[in-house]
Each structure stands twice: as C-alpha cells, then as structure tokens.
Structure 1
Amino acid sequence: MSMMARYWRQLNLEGRIGAVLLAMLVLMALLAPLLAPGDPLAITGEPMLRPFASEAHLLGTDRLGRDVLAGLLHGTRTTLLVAFFSAAVALIVGSIVGTLAGFLGGMADMVLMRITEAFQTVPGFLLALAAISVTGPSVPTLIFAISLGNWTQAARVTRAEVLSLRERDFVAAARTLGMRPLEIAFREILPNAFGPTASLAAISVAAAILIEAALSFLGFGDPNRVTWGSMIAEGRTVLRAAPYLSIVPGLALVITVLSVHLIGRGLSRTERLQP
C-alpha cells in the first residue's frame, strides 16, 4: 500500500473533506488554460454583467468587462503556486536553521536562535510587505517575501526535536563509524526530526494564502497575473452595485484556507494515532 493510500485510510472525515476540496482546487489550477483559454485580464464582454446573465460569462464580468470565472480559475494557479512554494521554502530554511542550532549547540545555537527571535518579533505580513516594497512585485519575490517571515516556527520545532535526538544511540553509532558532524546532523538526525516539522506545512500554506491575498489586495501582487486578492480589491470599488465581484473570489479564498486547515487537523490526528 502506498503512503498516500495509507494516510487516506487513516484520515478522519474532516481530513478527507479537506483533501477532496484541495484536490478540486489543484485540478482547477491545472485545467485553467483549458477551461478558460486566453488572457484572463483581457476584456471579453460588456462591463458589470451579473452572474448567469450570459452563457459566455457564467459568473459575470467586472467593471472593465473581464470574465470573472476566467479570473477565478487562473487566480487559483497563482494562489496555490505562491502558497505551496513559499511554505516549502519556509520549511526547508527552518529545518536547516533548527538542525544546525540544535546539533551544534553553544555559540552557534545562541546566534541562530537570536536571529530567529528577531524575525519572530516582526509580523510576517509586515516583513513580506517590506520585502516586496524593496524588490518589486513578482511571483518569485512574493514567494521569497512570504517565506521570509514564515520559517521561524519550523526552526524552533526542528531545534527542539534535534535536541532530544542528538544524544540517542544511533547518533553515537554514527560518530563511531566516523561520520562527520554535519553529515550526522542532516543524514541521521534531520530525517527523524522532520515529522513534527512537516505537520506545520498546513499552517504555513494557510498563512501564505492569506498573506498573498492581502498583498494583492493592497496592490503589491504581480501585475501581470490575476489573483484572488486583486479581484477582491477590484470589486470593493463597486461593492454595493456588484457585490459578487468580491464575494466570488472571497469564497474561493475561504474554501482554500478551510481545506488546508481540515487536512492539517486530519494529519495531526493521524500522527497521534501512530504507534
């Protein structure tokens, strides 16, 4: 039985619901060029068409005449791309920092943890906002900016796990075999310490989704890509006349964060049940 199948069987109902919702969102992102071909930022119809008023524009159009459904589908690609990659970068950086701090100890531990605490004192959104202001808006800089304030929790969790593992018998055996300290840290200890850190993935992804949406809402997203945050910002100017322009991407944002949250709860329950 594969690992995915084993986790699926051990997930509770809410975890499975979250997995199905996230799978549907990923499928939407992959099929966006087929379901809504062309440029989602192109003007394709009359402005301010209401949902289901036209067969060509099922979810209506915005105040410039751009198709809302096309923006929603292509926005899924941007949101998931930024969220998953920034969460992955944050977990990798946090794991490396936490492993070095926990294994080396002493001055290295103190310096790395003071750096971690310095990053923790500043809210992640403000760090991302400052980084985007300096580097300019684009998808790679969004990923960098969001991960900049999202790695500290992974570092602290990894350090705690490494501190409990570095005196184990298998570490002493690795030293006896002549393995170098960094080789022991990253080949022997980190794989055993990564489980609790990986459980933070759901939190990191959800936080990245919200930060990306907030940055796009404020106009700091990639101007060449449609995002849910930019769609919500576009709709707020005509909120009373066309509330659907903000409600549709807002609901997509809620469903995405909810699906990740449900998966995280299901996976944490699965880990608790492991012998």
Structure 2
Amino acid sequence: MSGEPDAGCRDVKSVAAAELFDLFDLSGKVALVTGGSRGLGREMVRAFATAGADMVVASRKLDACETVAAEVRDLGRRALPVAAHVGRWDDLGRLVDLAYEEFGHVDVLVNNAGMSPLAPSSAETGEELFDKVIGVNFKGPFRLSSLIGQRMAEGDGGSIINVSSSGALFPQPRFGPYAGAKAALNALTTVFALEYGPTVRVNTISAGPFLTDISKAWTEEKRQSARSAVGRPGRPEEIVTTALYLASDASSYTTGSLIRVDGGLY
C-alpha cells in the first residue's frame, strides 16, 4: 500500500481550497473607504483592490487620495479619489453622487474616518471640538450609511463596515466625546443591520491601538507594549483579514456584530 496521498483526494482538497478562496473574492465589486488615504483605511483599500474590487478612496486631502488611487490602479483596478470631509453633511451627498456616477453601484462601504483629539479635561472641552468629534465619528457614518445603505437595500445588497474603537468599550477620562461617538457608532450597526437587512450586512470592527500615523505621538513604551493578551499594539496590515471577511461573501451570515481586533485588551 503506497504512502502517497490519493490523486483524487488531492483534487478534492484543491477544489475545496479554491472554493474557500472564492468566498473572499471581490471581483466586480465597488468599495468605498473613508479615511482611505492612510493608516488602516489605506491598508483596507489595498487589500480590497488586491481581492478584485474597484475603489472609491475618500479623505479630506485630494492629493493623498490620488496617491492611493494610483496604487489601486497599479494593482489593475479602477479607482476614484474624492476629497470629502465626513463631518460635513453636503460633502457626503456629493461623495455618494460621484461614486454612483463613476461606477453605478457601491457594494462595500467602510466608515473608517475618525478623529480622537485629547482635551485637557471634560470641563475644558470646547463646543467646536465636541462638534467636530461627533461629526466625524458619528454624524458622518450615519449620513453615509443612510445614503448608501438605502441604495444597497433597493439593489443587490452589500456590506457596511463601521470602524469603531476600543475607546467605546474601555472609556477613559478626557475622551468623553470620542468614546460616546464610537459607542453611538456601535449602536448604529444594530440599527442599520435591522433597517437594511436581509440583503445588507452591517458590522463593526472595534479596533484597538494600531501603529498608524497617530502612534507617532505616543511614548516609545506605548509603541512597544499594550495592556492586552498579545501585549503589543497592532500593525496596520493586521486589520486586513477581518475587513476582507466582513466585506466578502465569507461573512454571509454575519450581521449586527461587533468584532474586536484589539489584541485582547483588558
């Protein structure tokens, strides 16, 4: 009796592996990522394009969007760079109009743009800062999900991914507006999963500390360690597998969920 694996068995395994890989295929899809010009957003843009998606790259600065759009085109996909401030209601209507004019549909929306300025104290938090934090982290995702989610529900469905923060689960002093906005974003996930289901899936990635641009202001100790099971901050590319799962058919039975990608913070 030969010790070599049966050829038929190998063929079955190959087919199974191919079918599994196909679950993560985004060919023919269009994905829109806010805050897509740097950090976690840029990693997701590149991952989605590699998986076959055409991309709408949105952030405040057009030149930064164009740089990432060029990277997408180098991967063989179409790309539309759009300068938009997610805290501005009218900017989001324009962003959606441009995306649908260019591609005709949006299949994946990632509400990734965010801001987390630290105030001296809650009492010293000004109205302008408060409104900016709520606008970018809550109002913007609400408006964008409303506009695109409705079109998804009326069409062929899709996936909305809200990028939230461990700050909503582990709130700390001086981060009140940010923690509150991200907690509200978590609640929106349930709202829109119910409102736009069953064809639109809506989920949250609760991101922990990642070594993105914001980490440049951290102490070296904070850049090297974290109060988590893994014991360190995440590398930006470590967001990719969860994002691909939620964007693709691999997560066809996952909606209204919050997935922590934070190294096991405690």
Q: Give your verdict on TM over 0.5.
A: no
Question: Could you state the TM-score of these two structures normalised by the residue count of structure 2?
Answer: 0.27
Question: Could you state the TM-score of these two structures normalised by the residue count of structure 1?
Answer: 0.27
Q: Which has the higher contact order (CA 8 A, sep 6+)?
A: 1
Largest Rg, 1 or 2? 1
Structure with more strand by fraction = 2
Structure with more helix by fraction = 1
